[in-house]
Structure 1
Amino acid sequence: MFLDVSLDILLTPAPQPLGNIDPSRDIERDRKTSDKALSPYVKRLGMTALVIVVACMAQASIGQTAKESIDVPPHSRLLLQAVGSGDQVYGCVNGHWTLKTPDAKLLNQEGAVIGRHFAGPTWQLNDGSWVKGKAVAQQVAPDATAVPWLLLESVGGAGRLGTVRFIQRTGTQGGNAPDGSCSQSAVRRVPYTATYSFFEAGQ
């Protein structure tokens, strides 16, 4: 019995010394191995997120440009430029000020009256020629108290202005709707000025 126990003790391998075992090195090796395994997936996820962000930014930029650009199409030719000086006329609808019509004179560079601007919106010169437009784009004016800058497309006309395809309204001053609520059927005239540029289609 004693002999068997002694032989078992002698034949049992001696425990290895712990001096050469570095737990921190093993942990670091396992972490690096895990990182290598995850790296392709992390990179793929990162690239996917980047593509989504860039696409969203591009879409927002395209939408903003389409809405806010008041540039005329390429090759458009400037036919006439005039200053509108008069009023934006507002009426009260359900307690809110709503634009009814512009009422302005059209002036040339020398300040002479060459026509007028009225409901439609319509621009008519002293020679009887006219053009009517509809707004297709707008841009916030640099002056916060001014009506927006506009790009309008012709929906009809005759005479000299009958060839106009687009009208730009820029350089606006004043004309914004009055503040606050209003009484039904009330009317308010707000002074404004603007530069109107009339463009024909280019060749």
Structure 2
Amino acid sequence: MCKAMRTSAPPIILASLSPTRAQILAEHGIAFTQMDSGFDEESLAVCEPAKFAYIACMKKLESSLELLAKQGKYDHALDSGLLCADSVVSVDGKLLRKARDKQEARNMLELQDSKRISILTALAYKSRHISFTDLSACHLELGKFELDDMLGYVDSLAWQGKAGCVMVEGFHKRYIRRQIGLESSALGLSIEKLARFWEIV
């Protein structure tokens, strides 16, 4: 596991309430605080998966800076560094966002069954002197879902808040036959890319 080179830096601001992204930062020894970006992804009328992830991420960055400015914390945010991210799932070129109910969740899972899915994660980091953006993809070749297992996952509601209802660390893990790309990208934050950037600068 790589450790990001920020031992003497103040905690960054993670503009995401995702517990998985928070866990990734914590596991890599990165001090941080969390906030809601305030951006509603549903307001985006974009259907192309990669484009959606990138635009949503940049909109989250813009929205977060506006919120921090209103709170008188803009300078603090730039001194600390602000991190935003967005992930979407693509199956056969179709964009899958977050399911709104159980039926939609089941439909998404049925679409993924025995397929190759792509998880696209965009991230943006901005501080006073540097900025970094990245768009990464992790491709997963999935086996056949067991119906009872899938229905149990739907009923558990563990898919809530997850793009395409994909839970790499949970339900989907046992069905992954092949992975191409970083697991962190599949989890929603390509930390290796960010860590490498910090090492360079």
Q: TM-score range by the shorter chain?
A: under 0.3
Higher-helix-fraction structure: 2
Higher-strand-fraction structure: 1
Computing the radius of gyration from Cα coordinates, the structure with the larger value is: 1
Q: TM-score, normalised by structure 2?
A: 0.27
